[in-house]
Structure 1
Amino acid sequence: MAALLRAAPASVRVLGVGSDHRAYALGEDRVVRLPRWPGGGEALRREARLLAWLTPRLPGVGLPEVLHLGAASPLAPEGFSVARRVPGGSALGQSLPDPAGLGGLLGRWLADLHTLNPRGSGLGVDLDPTGHDWRNAALEDLRVAADAGVLPEAAAWAGRVQAVPDLREVVPVPLHGDFAAEHVHLDGQGDFAGVLDWADAALGDPARDLAGLIHWGDPALLQAARNVYPASGAVWERAAWYALCRALGDLAFAVGEGQPAYLEAGRRALNGLRGWWTNAPPRS
Structure 2
Amino acid sequence: MAEWLGLGSDHHAFALDRARVLRLPRWPGGGEALRREARLLAWLTSWLGCAALPEVLHLGTASPLVPEGFSVARRVPGRSGLGVAVTDPVALGGELGRWLADLHALNPHESGLTVDLDPSGHDWRDAALDDLEAAAEVGVLPGADAWAARVRDIPDLRKVMPVPIHGDFAAEHVSLDGQGRLSGVLDWSDAALGDPARDLAGLIHWGDAALLAAARVAYPAAGQSCGAVWERAAWYALCRALGDLAFGLTGGVAGGQEAYLRAGRRALDGLRAWWTNAPMAP
Residue 90 of structure 1: which of 80, 83, 88 is its match? 80
Counterpart residue type for residue 246 of structure 1? R
Determine the structure 1 residue equivalent to 2:240. Answer: 246
Find the counterpart in structure 2 of residue 237 from structure 1.
231
* C-alpha displacement of 1:60: 2.5
Deviation of 1:251 (Å): 0.6
Find the residue that maps to 1:86 and give its secondary structure.
coil
Counterpart residue identity of residue 247, structure 1: A
- Map 1:176-215 → 2, pairs under 5 A: 176-215=166-205
* CA deviations over 1:174-230 (Å, ceiling 9, x no partner): 000000000000011111000000000000000000000000000000000000111
| CA-to-aligned-CA distance 1:219-247 (integer Å, 9 cap, x gap) | 00000000011120110010000000000
Q: Aligned partners of 1:265, 1:50: CA distance in 2, in Å?
A: 29
Match 1:75 to one of 65, 78, 83:
65
SS of corresponding position for 1:57: coil
> Does structure 1 retain, via aligned residues, the 8 Å contact 2:50–2:99?
no
Specify the code of the residue in structure 2 equivalent to 1:144.
Answer: A
- Could you say what the CA RMSD is over the residues aligned between the two structures, in angstroms? 1.2
User: What's 1:15 paired with?
Assistant: 5
TM-score of the aligned structures, taking structure 1 as reference length? 0.93
Q: Within 2, Cα distance between the matches of 1:279 and 1:213?
A: 17
Q: How does 1:91-106 map to 2 (within 5 A)?
A: 91-106=81-96
Matched, 1:256 2:254: no
Query: Out of 55, 59, 77, which is 1:65 matched to?
Result: 55
How far did residue 158 of structure 1 move?
Answer: 0.2
Determine helix, strand or coil for the equivalent of 1:64.
coil
- Return the alpha-carbon distance in structure 2 between the equivalents of residues 87 and 13 of structure 1: 17
Q: Measure, in 2, the Cα distance between the counterparts of 1:109 and 1:238.
A: 19
Q: Per-residue deviation at 1:18? A: 1.3
2:167 matches 1:167:
no
Q: 2-side partners of 1:16 and 1:192: how far apart?
A: 22
* Structure 1 unmatched runs, 5+: 1-10
Q: Which 4+ residue blocks in structure 1 deviate beyond 3 angstroms?
A: none
- Matching of residue 143 in structure 1 with residue 133 in structure 2: yes
| Greater mean deviation of Cα atoms: 227-236 or 205-214 | 227-236
CA distance in 1, matches of 2:146, 2:203: 23
Which residue number in structure 2 is paired with residue 4 of structure 1?
none
1:104 is paired with a residue of what secondary structure?
helix
| Shift of residue 261, structure 1, vs aligned partner | 1.0
Q: Could you tell me how far 1:74 is from its partner in structure 2?
A: 3.1
Deviation at 1:75, TM superposition (A): 2.8
Counterpart of 2:267 (choices 262, 269, 275) is 269
Distance in 1 (alpha carbons) for counterparts of 2:182 and 2:7:
22
Matched position secondary structure for 2:233:
helix
The share of aligned pairs that are identical, in percent, is: 76
The equivalent position to 1:25 in structure 2, one of 3, 12, 15, is 15
**Partner-residue secondary structure (3-state), 1:178:** coil
1:127-163: CA deviation from partner (whole Å, max 9, x where unpaired): 0110000000000111111112111111100000000
What runs of 5+ residues in structure 2 fail to find an aligned partner?
Answer: none
Provide Cα deviations, 1:41-86, integer angstroms capped at 9, x if missing partner. Answer: 1111110000000001001210000011111223322211000011
Aligned partner of 1:55 in structure 2 is 45
Name the amino acid aligned to 2:265.
Answer: R
Aligned residues: 270
Partner Cα separation in structure 2 for residue 139 and residue 76 of structure 1: 34
Q: 1:35 Cα deviation (Å)?
A: 1.3
